[in-house]
Amino acid sequence: MKSALSRTVLLASGLLLSSQLLAEPKRPECIAPAAPGGGFDLTCKLAQSALVDSKLLKSPMRVTYMPGGVGAVAYNAVVAQRPADAGTITAFSSGSLLNLAQGKFGRFDENAVKWLAAIGTSYGAIAVRSDSPYKTLDDLVAAIKADPGKVVIGSGGTVGSQDWMQTALVARAAGIEPGKLRYVAMEGGGELATALLGGHIQVASTDISDSVPHIESGDMRILAVLSEERLSSSAVADIPTAKEQGYDVVWPVIRGFYVGPKVSDEAYAWWKSAFDQLLASDEFARLREQRELYPFALTGDELDAYVKQQVGQYKQLAQEFGLSQ
């Protein structure tokens, strides 16, 4: 009995010592790899609010913007210049993984960072201004078929990007050669919305979570959301899916974070523990819902396995569209 008690005390002491070793990283920062106003910004600000409000972070977290290559500049900076920066997490999305699958992040691949946490999912969306002549996805498809060059589509990133892929998949489903679509490449959802509302493009291939403020203001209309079924949020519940309009296209947009490759195991464990606690809380579920994100939670090894699987699938999709790697 005494021996068992001693072992219990030692175990408890070990757990206490272990938790004390997992000290909060100093100068916490979230890098949003685009200009303010888009999905990366939203992802960082969700983490910023949730981690501080929940007291998991005692220090304020700053959000730093690092646009360029729809994530490429930030990825390269973290891996090459700040690989051991324990206080820095960087936002990623499904679009980041698609770009990695095509070798768009330079010499670094999906194995170059430590994947930390996925905190939610949004869905792709096809958006127009509220005064657009295109009322449905069929209207847009008919206009493109009649004269592809007259319909200017804005996307975050160049050919092969996530936004490009969304409309390319819709075009393929409609029997349109994706190469005929007229694109204007932009840096993130904020710039994309500005261009659409300013009349510089006619259509935006975007993300539903980015779009909700513009839907609520009455400035933007969503022709289709690329989800399996209509979304439950009251702000978007009336928006039809592409599938129900006859175009079998679904595109989830996973949102999460990674850290540098040389961040210590202790610092990584602290961040993982913080996100595990966050993702299990009702308060975080409320904050996520406010930002039109839907449940999707993976951390640590589970997220790493998911990322590797997705990159493999995206490589296959890129080959189908003749995109170089």
User: Across-strand partners of 152?
Assistant: 182
The residue-averaged pLDDT of 294-309 equals: 97
Nearest to 227 by CA among 211, 256, 248, 204: 248
Domains in the chain, please, with CATH?
A: 28-121+253-320 (3.40.190.150), 123-251 (3.40.190.10)
Q: Taking 90 as the threshold, does the pLDDT of residue 18 lie above it? A: no
CB-based burial, 76-87: b 16+ in 10 Å, e otherwise: bbbbeebbebbb
**What's the pLDDT band for 325 if we cut at 50, 70, 90?**
low
Percent of the chain whose predicted confidence (pLDDT) is above 90: 80
Mean residue pLDDT across the chain: 91
Lowest mean pLDDT among 1-10, 97-106, 279-288: 1-10
How many Å separate Cα 267 from the centre of its chain?
A: 23
- State in Å, rounded, how far the first CA of the chain is from the last one: 64
Yes or no: say if 296 and 209 are a contact pair by the CB < 8 Å rule: no
Report pTM.
Answer: 0.86
Residue 29 CB burial class (10 angstroms; 0-12, 13-18, ≥19): middle
Spatial CA neighbour of 140 closest among 172, 174, 163: 174
Most confident of 1-5, 84-88, 187-191: 84-88
Give yes or no for residue 180 having a pLDDT over 70.
yes
Q: Taking 80 as the threshold, does the pLDDT of residue 108 lie above it?
A: yes
Provide φ and ψ at 51, rounded to 5°.
Answer: -70, -40
Q: At what angle do helices 162-173 and 94-101 cross, to 10 degrees?
A: 80
Three-class secondary structure of residue 224 per DSSP: strand
Q: Which two tokens stand for residue 279?
A: 């993702």
Q: Is residue 67 classed as helix, strand or coil in its secondary structure?
A: coil
Q: What is the pLDDT of residue 292?
A: 87
Q: What pLDDT is stored for residue 127 in this prediction?
A: 97
β-strand 203-207 against 88-93: which pairing, if any?
unpaired
Q: Which of 11-15, 73-77, 141-145, 199-203 has the lowest mean pLDDT?
A: 11-15
